[in-house]
Homo-oligomer: A and B are copies of this chain.
Amino acid sequence: MDFNSLVNNIKKKQSFLCVGLDTDINKIPKHLLSCEDPIFEFNKQIIDATKDFCVAYKPNIAFYESLGKKGWWSLEKTLNYIPKDIFTIADAKRGDIGNTTDYYGKTYFETYNFDSLTVAPYMGHDSVTPYLQHKGKWVIVLALTSNAGALDFQLQKLHDNSFVFEKVLKISKNWGTEENMMYVVGATKADMLTKIREHVPNHFLLIPGVGAQGGSLKDVAHYGMNKHCGLLVNSSRGIIYASHNEDFAKAAGSKAKEIQQEMKQILTENNIIN
């Protein structure tokens, strides 16, 4: 999916919501466990209930991978079920080099037809640029994450007084363009978004950590929104586990709609939609 299609979807759906499909076999409603493929059945119902309110889906690959071959099959079916006009993110946080990167690219952009892949920057340019050769695909680089461990390295100060994560932005933004690269920035660090927007004013930012992890949607929009919106805000547990009972899909849909309504207001206030 290209930049303009994504921006147009945001305007059309009046939403910049990404739903995280972190589907955990131990957390889905018990009545689904008798289905042939409980993970896919859960995702299917979640997608049906939320697809009108979101512009992206983000399966966290760990949950599928942990189930072995069966899990990859559930992932494949889920990917095929997501409507084609919704942006898809393989949250795999890969980071490797050379021919390994070629293989990860093949996996997520060809075997599974994802629009984008999250990537860790620690190994540098040759762990990111090979993905950018896939036309129409995106790399989403970890910049500043929402977890406590972000302090350990991302927020170390360099000799030029910038943070490590700023160096990641500054160097990596030259590897691609705002039409094939995005950055992960945790919502729990919303005040840092001002600094981040100095480095990457036009890139899309994928923002986890709103809701369950305590970040505020208003703060994120205040500090991080640009003229194209430039934000995909992810919610996983807050939506998909809104209820643990038979009404889980309905509850997920209501929660997604509630967030979409708040997003619609923010998009209107920022003159991105009328």
Q: Which A residues lie at the B interface, using CB under 8 A? A: 22, 24, 60, 62-63, 65-69, 72-73, 76, 93-101, 103-104, 106-107, 111, 120-128, 142, 145, 147-154, 156-159, 161, 164, 167-168, 171-172
Contact = CB atoms under 8 A, between A and B. Distances in A.
A124 to B, nearest CB: 2
A122 B149 CA distance: 9
Nearest to A128: B149
Nearest to A26: B99
Q: How many copies does the complex hold?
A: 2
B147 A107 contact: no
A66 B66 CA distance: 16
Contacts of A99: 22, 24
B66 A104 contact: yes
Contact of A149 (B97, B103, B106): B97
A145 B120 contact: no
Nearest to A25: B103
6 closest residue pairs by CB, A with B: A124-B149, A124-B152, A66-B103, A62-B103, A126-B149, A66-B107
